[in-house]
Amino acid sequence: MPNLITAIVVDDESNSRFVLKNLLEKFTDEIEVIGEAGNVEDAFTLVKEKKPLLVFLDIQMPKANGFALLKKFDILPFEVIFVTSYDKYALNAIKFSALDYLLKPIETEDLTRAIGKAVKRITDKSNNGTQVINLLHNLNAGNNDHKVAVHNGDLVKFINEKDILYIEADGSYCIINTEQKERFVTARNLKDFEEYFGDSSSFVRLSRSCLINTNHVKQYSKGEPCIIDMADGKCFEIPRRKKAEILERLKAY
């Protein structure tokens, strides 16, 4: 590995590029900025010419957003750190693909953390190209076609949305339970999952601590208490205040 990690900054706002380059110069000694671009086409040309190891990529740009740059490569030849203003949809897609991002205005602590992780991946030659492919898939995913990236030891595992039976809150974490009888712990919360899957998904919130996939409901009782039986044998009681709403959703599947 070279002494310095070569990088380019892609952002349509020249002031934003200037600020980020200054932050990199002041707070890191591992990054060498070798170019900058204000749009996707110039960025693509720059990547081809300069072959940077790392790209700081703004998402919101006119004509074509940052994701369009990634789509131009069959195999991603660089690490990417997204830089963006708040965009709930894009940020959820990035987070659920286990990728790094910086929120404008950039905090130095976030910057150094993201750079540290990128440098480690470059050093270890553990490119995040697979996660980027998953991100692009999720941005275009239809109902029940999203994938969730979770850390599993030293690996990142992708779980198909349709294979998830239910997700349970556990303090500041969530536990994903799958049709394959696997359990994964993630730092995301149930609201994140609801927003990520969307209103038209097969997932329904039973309570403050549980989100179920209605495609895996085996049966439910209409009386009191109202009990839902999942395909793996797990049972959940529907709170009385949500009974009418939940049963209406279940009738749709």
Tell me the per-residue pLDDT of 101-152, one tens digit each, with 9 for 90 and over.
999 999 999 999 999 999 998 988 887 788 998 898 888 766 668 899 998 7
User: Which CATH number characterizes residue 225's domain?
Assistant: 2.40.50.1020
Query: Based on the domain organization, do 130 and 31 belong to the same domain?
Result: yes
Query: Based on the domain organization, do 131 and 169 belong to the same domain?
Result: no
Return mean pLDDT, the chain.
90
- 204 falls within a domain: yes
Q: How confident is the model at residue 253 (pLDDT cuts 50, 70, 90)?
A: low
Number of folded domains in the chain?
2
- 142 falls within a domain: no
* Domain boundaries, position 111: 5-137
Q: pLDDT (tens digit, 9 = 90+) per residue, 152-203?
A: 777 889 999 999 999 999 988 999 999 999 999 998 899 999 988 887 789 9
Q: In what order do the strands lie in the sheet with 164-170?
A: 183-186, 173-178, 164-170, 210-213, 203-207
Query: Based on the domain organization, do 27 and 128 belong to the same domain?
Result: yes
- 153 falls within a domain: no
Query: Based on the domain organization, do 168 and 241 belong to the same domain?
Result: yes
- 234 falls within a domain: yes
Q: In what order do the strands lie in the sheet with 79-84?
A: 31-37, 5-10, 54-58, 79-84, 101-103
- Return the pLDDT at 101: 94
The alpha-helical segments, DSSP class H, found in 176-253 are 190-197, 243-251
Q: Does pLDDT of 88 surpass 80? A: no
Most distant CA atoms of the chain, gap in Å:
68
- Return the pLDDT at 140: 77
- 154 falls within a domain: no
Q: pLDDT (tens digit, 9 = 90+) per residue, 207-223?
A: 999 999 999 999 988 77
Q: Which of 103, 121, 137 is the last residue of a domain?
A: 137
Query: Based on the domain organization, do 132 and 170 belong to the same domain?
Result: no
- Return the pLDDT at 222: 79
Query: Based on the domain organization, do 69 and 106 belong to the same domain?
Result: yes
Q: Which of 137, 170, 204 is the last residue of a domain?
A: 137
Residue 129 token pair: 């190209």
- 155 falls within a domain: no
Query: Based on the domain organization, do 125 and 207 belong to the same domain?
Result: no
Q: Does pLDDT of 242 surpass 90? A: no
Per cent of the chain over pLDDT 70 is 97
Q: pLDDT (tens digit, 9 = 90+) per residue, 7-45?
A: 999 999 999 999 999 999 999 999 999 999 999 999 999
- 150 falls within a domain: no
User: Which CATH number characterizes residue 88's domain?
Assistant: 3.40.50.2300
Q: Which residue has the higher pLDDT, 224 or 142?
A: 224
Q: pLDDT (tens digit, 9 = 90+) per residue, 91-102?
A: 888 988 889 999
Q: Does pLDDT of 1 surpass 50? A: no
> What is the model's pTM?
0.73
Among 98, 96, 155, 147, residue whose Cα is nearest residue 124: 155
- Return the pLDDT at 144: 66
Query: Based on the domain organization, do 120 and 19 belong to the same domain?
Result: yes
Q: Which of 137, 152, 170 is the last residue of a domain?
A: 137
* Side-chain-facing half-sphere of 5: CA atoms under 13 Å: 26
